[in-house]
A and B are shown apart, each in its own frame.
Chain A
Amino acid sequence: NAGVTQTPKFQVLKTGQSMTLQCAQDMNHEYMSWYRQDPGMGLRLIHYSVGAGITDQGEVPNGYNVSRSTTEDFPLRLLSAAPSQTSVYFCASRNGQTLNDYGYTFGSGTRLTVV
């Protein structure tokens, strides 16, 4: 049982390049989310999904796209990388059926630098 797997762990991009951060979970969780973490800002929600085929924007969605074609995978695409997107990105999933069931499982993170 691998939990939540994120790849790559590290990435350096040039401004304007595009790339996809991968996230996969093997726990059959319905809910998946992408966060970015910056110093002093905490974790900020980028996009989330409540199930296959359903996605929605979070707090800071601009510059990112997501899709959820399967329950297991929730990739995050950077359309045209900018230095402001330098951050640590975390994918998280949970199987919460009620408002009190929020045991989030996080991936180990992707450290992205845009130069």
Chain B
Amino acid sequence: RKEVEQDPGPFNVPEGATVAFNCTYSNSASQSFFWYRQDCRKEPKLLMSVYSSGNEDGRFTAQLNRASQYISLLIRDSKLSDSATYLCVVTGQRGYSSASKIIFGSGTRLSIRP
């Protein structure tokens, strides 16, 4: 089983729709969680951190469910510019060296159509 798993998609939704993805992780000791966005043939860029209480940034909402070991990303009122691959990122356990080991999911492709 992969340490971090995502539905690869693609999710193909119309502009204005609401779309949600989940990401599951296997290590219950994981400490921090993030969503990254990667455009085609570009480098990943941080979209938002995921906090235990859930957090929102404009049209984007991130949630963490430690009991079920998954994080989610909700995009409301989707725009054409939201088309990208969304990577979930889970950090390692406590400890100096292992804190540097960050696990990326393989990504969920999202395509917004006009």
Interface residues of A (CB under 8 A from B): 31, 33, 35, 40-45, 48, 50, 56, 58, 90, 96, 99-100, 102-104, 106-109
Contact A99 B96 (CB under 8 A): no
Contact A90 B87 (CB under 8 A): no
Interface residues of B (CB under 8 A from A): 4, 8, 31-32, 34, 36, 42-46, 49, 87, 89, 91, 94, 96-97, 99-107
Contact A45 B101 (CB under 8 A): yes
Q: Please give, as numbers and ranges, the residues of chain B lying within 8 Å of A108 by CB-CB distance.
A: 42-43
Contact B31 A42 (CB under 8 A): no
Q: How far is the CA of A40 from the CA of B109 in the complex (A)?
A: 11
Chain A's nearest CB lies how many Å from the CB of B109? 11
Q: B100 touches which one: A48, A90, A106 (CB < 8 A)?
A: A48
Contact B100 A50 (CB under 8 A): yes
Chain A's nearest CB lies how many Å from the CB of B110? 16
Contact A90 B43 (CB under 8 A): yes
Choose among B43, B45, B103, B106 the residue with the greatest number of A CB atoms under 10 Å from its CB.
B43
Q: Please give, as numbers and ranges, the residues of chain A lying within 8 Å of B31 by CB-CB distance.
A: 99-100
Contact A50 B96 (CB under 8 A): yes
Contact A58 B97 (CB under 8 A): no
Q: Please give, as numbers and ranges, the residues of chain B lying within 8 Å of A40 by CB-CB distance.
A: 8, 106
Contact B43 A43 (CB under 8 A): no
Contact B107 A107 (CB under 8 A): no
